[in-house]
Each structure stands twice: as C-alpha cells, then as structure tokens.
Amino acid sequence: MINIFATKEKKKILNKYRIRLTIVSLIVTDLLITANLVLFMSPYLLSTSKYNNLEKELATLEEVYGGGVKEKDVSSQVVDINNKITLLLKASAKTQLSPYQVISDILNNKSRKIKIYGVTYDSVVNQERVVITGEALDRDSLSSFFEELKKDTRFTDVTLPISSYVKSENIEFSVVLERNTKPTSKNKTK
C-alpha cells in the first residue's frame, strides 16, 4: 500500500494516538488506585478501631490495678509462688506414692509369664489410682500376680474383673490398685 499522508500528517496522527493512549492509561491507573483505596479502607478503619478499643481497655485495666505491674513485681510473685509450690510438694510427698517407685516395684515383682502393656497413674486429692493392663500366659500366673499385688500394704483396694479368668491362655487383664491418702474418719462420739 502506498503511503498517501505527508510526513507532517503522519507525525500529527502518531502524536494524537500517543496522547489518547496516555490518557486512557492514566484513566485506568486512576481507576485501579481508587478501587484499591476503597477496598483497603474498610479493613484499615476496622483495625484502627480495634487498636483504639484495646488501648482504652488497657488504660482502664492499668487504672484498676494501680498503673500496671512492674517486671520486678512479677518476678517476685513468681518466686513466691514457686516457694509455695515446693512447700506443698514437700508436704504431700510424704503421703503420695512415687509413680516411678510403684511402677518399678510392680515390674520387679511380676513373673515372666506376665506381660505388662500399660500402667496409668492418677492422683486426686484424697485418692491415688494405678491401672495395670497386660497379658498373662495362663490363669495361675494371673492369680499369683494378683495375690502379690493384694499383699502390698501400700494399696487399700486391689481389683481384678472376674471376666479376666474366662480364657485359660493368653489372658488380657486390667488390674486397678487404689490407695486413700486421707484416712477415713469414723463416727465421732458426741
């Protein structure tokens, strides 16, 4: 195709095209910036309002508790609490069983025909409880293991469900050992 426009006309047309392209790109950029501002404005306002509310709550808490607690006060409180805990543990160490000692005694006293799969130790305020689960090779070994546990004077109650004696070999069992740490009080005379 033959070029019919003069070079001056070509330059004018090219200049108009560039101006139009620049205007359209500026309008698109402006629209994108406006859309971003609209989209990001609501989360920004929400977060600033939450921040302001938290600062207000913090100020009221500081007023209530005397202007905040200093770090030295916190560390001294932690030391006091730790001292109280150690005193309580020393006092209760005399009355509570050592879980390690109980488990090691049970493992040392069992025969080779008894396999222990699990030991659970639970201690509440007035009672300690040990649950032993395992498998016995036969009824006699389970019975002798149960009798050895009953002879242990540390426990107030040793129970083995009668259903454990149903099978004659490879008997799965669960023995519950209980100990009251607080002596039971009998009827007081008036």
In this prediction, residue 73 has a pLDDT band, given cuts at 50, 70 and 90, of confident
Q: What is the mean pLDDT of residues 147-173?
A: 84
Q: Which of 71-75, 152-156, 157-161 has the lowest mean pLDDT?
A: 71-75
Which uninterrupted H or E stretch holds 136? strand 127-138
Question: Which pLDDT does position 54 carry in this prediction?
Answer: 92
Report whether pLDDT(97) > 70.
no
pLDDT of residue 187: 43
Judged against a pLDDT cut of 90, whether residue 64 lies above it is answered with: no
Q: Token pair 């498998």 is at which residue?
A: 135
Task: Please give, one letter per residue, the 3-state secondary structure of 96-108.
Answer: CCCHHHHHHHHHH
99-180 fold: Gyrase A; domain 2 (3.30.1360)
Domain positions in the chain: 1-65, 99-180
Residue 133 tokens read as: 């689960």
pTM of the model: 0.45
Strands (E), 41-83: none
Mean pLDDT computed over every residue of the chain:
82
Helix (H, G, I), strand (E, B) or coil at 179: strand
Mean pLDDT of 126-143: 88
